[in-house]
Amino acid sequence: MSQGQTGAEQRLVTPGMAVGPSTGKRAGSGIIAAEEQFIATQLGWLKERNNTVSIDPIHAAYMPRSGDLVVGIVAEVRNNLWFMDINGSFQGLLPMSLAPWKVEFGAARQHMDIGDVVLARVQEVDECHNVVLTMKGVGLRRLKQGSVEQLPVQHIDRVRGENNAMLQRIRDACDCRIMVGENGRVWIDGSSSGVAWARQMLHTVATEGHTRSVETILQEMENTTKGDA
Amino acid sequence: MMGGYGDVQLLRDDGKRLDGRALDEMRPVQIEAGVLPAADGSAMVTHGLNVAVAAVYGPMEAHPRKIQRQDRAVIDVRYNMAPFSTSDRIRPGFNRRSREISKVTAEALESVVLVERYPRSKIRVEIEILAAEAGTRCAGITAAAVALADAGIPMRDLLVGVASGKIEDTVVLDLDKAEDNYGQADLPVGILPNTGEIAFLQMDGDLSPEEYALAMEYNFKAAREIHDIMVEALQKKYEGGEA
């Protein structure tokens, strides 16, 4: 079987590639076990942590999980519920019972209409990928101002960093409020120059994030142009 | 149906083929991943004079809902030859041949993609043949596999499309246009090189068991070579990472 190429620190693997023996280890995301071998199923960087072998994919679709914080856009309104585009394969459903307001039957549109942006949490995902959202919780609300940026889902963890350390550095650098949804959407609010700086930074991460670390991109951005906010 | 044409010489006196290739020699193959920015994944395969571009979109909610499967995704393949892909202009749109190739390609890909990960979803694969010179379905399958990998769709292996055939009672690898038109048999196969499995197989014309075995030997050899080029293309696109 073909072997993976060794990168600067990690190894880039392709689907079907044997990535090592499976004995004594667990298969994480992007890995299947076959004939005592771990086989990669996705294109991405191979990583091993806590005795679990997994793949950090280069491209990935958002798969909602219960508890995820997401930035949703209202796609459809019914009498008693909203359908949200959450950047996944399926729309998320927000019933009026899980909205933060007391909503009369038939009055859903008065609170939120098509195109409105909300910060919500995934309440439940069933085996058929039906997604139920909730807006009951601290900080969950309709986002009435600011800008929403789209980022590849696989870069979200790296933008946040350990304990949100990287995200805090980006917030400090542009002096903006930034909320990062697990679904690859980032909400930014602040001065126009700060928002422009943050959008430029996220755009660079989106286009070059598979070859350079967020840390390197942030340092370069800080050294060249910086928001004056 | 391939009947063979006795008066067309397809093998030279020195035992080589008309374009100078040996019997088990493949046309040159070049692959590039991520060629279309608007698609979730894409690839371009140049196989001899064939040029195939594949684009992958999804997984997305399957529409119309009657095509949804509660336990898995469906793969929707659209194979199309551009009107300018051959010397005679092709009438644009679906025809019997493109429907057949779309169907067999979809079935081959469904056996490789981990479709059970995406219930009720659809993965759309668009294969566009920009230039055709025999073997477009194989080039299309190879392009689709690279595009699926580029899109991050989980798969058991990279599917490779490759063909062998028979000309002048001799088994040869990778038929070109003249060999396809005037030859005696064509055997396109979809191979999973790492596991040695066959995901699709078609045969046009007749081969004896011995000829079939030799043709498959050629196909597996070529599949491993193309697989290496596919892996190289994906690694070249995303190499140098420090993620």
- φ, ψ of residue A130 to 5 degrees: the values are -75, 130
Three-state SS across A108-120? HHHHCCCCCEEEE
B188 in Cβ contact with B137 (< 8 Å): yes
Helix (H), strand (E) at residue B225: helix B209-238
Is the Cβ–Cβ distance between A227 and A175 less than 8 Å? yes
Q: Are A180 and A160 in contact (CB under 8 A)?
A: yes
Domain ranges of chain A: 5-57, 69-143, 147-223
| A219 shares contact with chain B (CB less than 8 Å) | no
Q: Is residue B242 part of a domain?
A: no
Please name every residue paired with B131 in a beta bridge, in sequence order, or none if there are none. Answer: B51
* DSSP code for A73: E
Query: In Å, how far are A130, A132, A133 from A97, measured between CA atoms?
Result: 17, 11, 11
Confidence band for A228, pLDDT divided at 50, 70 and 90 = very low
Helices A165-174 and A214-223: crossing angle in degrees, nearest 10, is 20
Question: Measured between beta carbons, which residues in chain B are less than 8 angstroms from residue A60?
Answer: 152
Q: A5-57 — its CATH code?
A: 2.40.50.100
| Ramachandran region, residue A11 (left: φ > 0; alpha: ψ -120 to 50; beta: rest) | beta
Q: Which residues contact B160 (CB under 8 A, 6 or more apart)?
A: B141, B142, B145, B190, B191, B192, B193, B223, B226, B227, B230
Kindly list the residues from chain A whose CB atom is less than 8 angstroms away from the CB atom of residue B36. none
pLDDT surpasses 90 at A162:
no
Q: Identify the pLDDT of residue A8.
A: 44
pLDDT one-digit tens code per residue, A19-53 = 989 888 999 999 999 888 999 999 999 989 889 99
- Please state at what angle helix B96-110 crosses helix B136-150, rounded to 10 degrees: 40
Task: Tell whether A12 lies on the interface with B, counting CB pairs under 8 A.
Answer: yes
With beta carbons under 8 A apart, name residues in chain A contacting B120.
89-90, 128-129
The residue assigned the tokens 């509660």 is B70
> Taking CA atoms, what residue in B is nearest to A5?
B235
Q: Please check whether residue B202 lies inside any domain of the structure.
A: yes
Shortest Cα–Cα distance, A30 to chain B (Å): 7
Q: Can you give the CATH number for the domain in which B219 is found?
A: 3.30.230.70
More confident residue, A1 or A71: A71
Return the residue of A nearest to B240 by Cα: A211
Q: Does residue A60 have a pLDDT over 90?
A: no
Answer whether B207's CB lies under 8 Å from B122's CB. no
Question: Which CATH code fits A69-143?
Answer: 2.40.50.140
- Report the C-alpha gap between A30 and A21 in whole angstroms: 15
**Which residues of chain B does A12 touch, with a Cβ-Cβ cutoff of 8 Å?**
234-235, 238-239, 241
B6 Cβ under 8 Å from any chain A Cβ:
no
Does B152 sit within 8 Å of A58, measured CB to CB? Answer: yes
B154 touches chain A (CB under 8 A): yes
Chain B residues with beta carbon closer than 8 angstroms to that of A1: 194
**A35 and chain B in contact, CB less than 8 A:** no
B196 to chain A: nearest residue by CA?
A1
Determine the Cα angle at A60 with ends B107 and A119, to 5°: 125
Measured distance CA(B142)–CA(B147) in Å, rounded: 9
Give a yes or no: residue B14 inside a domain: no
Torsion sign across C-alpha atoms B101, B102, B103, B105: positive
Instruction: Please report, to the nearest 10 degrees, the dihedral formed by the alpha carbons of residues A155, A156, A159, A162 taken in order.
Output: -110
CB B151 to CB A2 under 8 A? no
* Percentage above 70 pLDDT, chain A: 94
Nearest chain B residue to A33 by CA distance is B156
Q: Which two tokens stand for residue B215?
A: 């043709």
Q: Which domain holds residue B91?
A: 29-237
Say yes or no: B234 contacts chain A, CB-CB below 8 A.
Answer: yes
- What is the rounded CA–CA span in Å between residue A47 and residue A88? 25
Residue A86, phi-psi category: left (phi > 0), alpha (psi -120 to 50), beta (remainder): alpha
CATH of A147-223, picked from 2.60.120.260, 3.30.390.10, 3.30.1370.10, 3.50.30.30, is 3.30.1370.10
* pLDDT tens digits in sequence order for chain B, 243 residues long: 455 555 788 898 898 999 999 999 999 999 999 999 999 999 999 999 999 999 999 899 998 989 999 999 999 999 999 999 999 999 998 899 999 999 999 999 999 999 999 999 999 999 999 999 999 999 999 999 999 999 999 999 999 999 999 999 999 999 999 999 999 999 999 999 999 999 999 999 999 999 999 999 999 999 999 999 999 999 998 875 443
ipTM: 0.89
In a domain, B60, yes or no: yes
Residues paired with A83 in a beta bridge: A76, A93
Number of CB pairs, chain A paired with chain B, less than 8 A apart: 117
Q: Check: CB of residue A40 under 8 Å from CB of residue A11.
A: no
CB contact at 8 A, A117 and A149: no
Burial class (CB in 10 A: 0-12, 13-18, 19+), A156: buried
| Chain B stretch 134-153, residues whose beta carbon is closer than 8 A to a beta carbon of chain A | 149-153
- Residue B65: inside a domain: yes
Instruction: Find chain B residues with C-beta within 8 A of A10's C-beta.
Output: 241, 243
The interface residues of chain B toward chain A in range 172-211, judged by CB-CB distance below 8 A, are: 192-195
For A173-197, write each residue's pLDDT tens digit: 999 999 999 999 999 999 999 999 9
Q: Is residue B6, in this structure, part of any structural domain at all?
A: no
User: Cβ distance B132 to B46 under 8 Å?
Assistant: no
Asked whether this chain's domains A5-57 and A147-223 adopt the same fold, the reply is no
Contacts of B155 (CB under 8 A, 6+ apart): A15, A16, A41, A42, B112, B113, B114, B145, B148, B149
Calpha distance B119→B70 (Å, rounded): 5
Q: Does B57 touch chain A (CB under 8 A)?
A: no
Asked if B152 and A60 come within 8 Å (Cβ–Cβ), the reply is: yes
Q: Measure in Å the smallest separation between the Cα of A80 and chain B Cα atoms.
A: 23
Q: What is the Cα–Cα distance from A60 to A67, expressed in whole angstroms?
A: 19
Using DSSP, state whether B138 is helix, strand or coil: helix
> Which of A7, A17, A59 is facing B150, going by the closest CB pair?
A59
CB contact under 8 A, A59 and B240: no
Q: Which residues from chain B sit within 8 angstroms of residue A128, using beta carbons? A: 70, 119-120
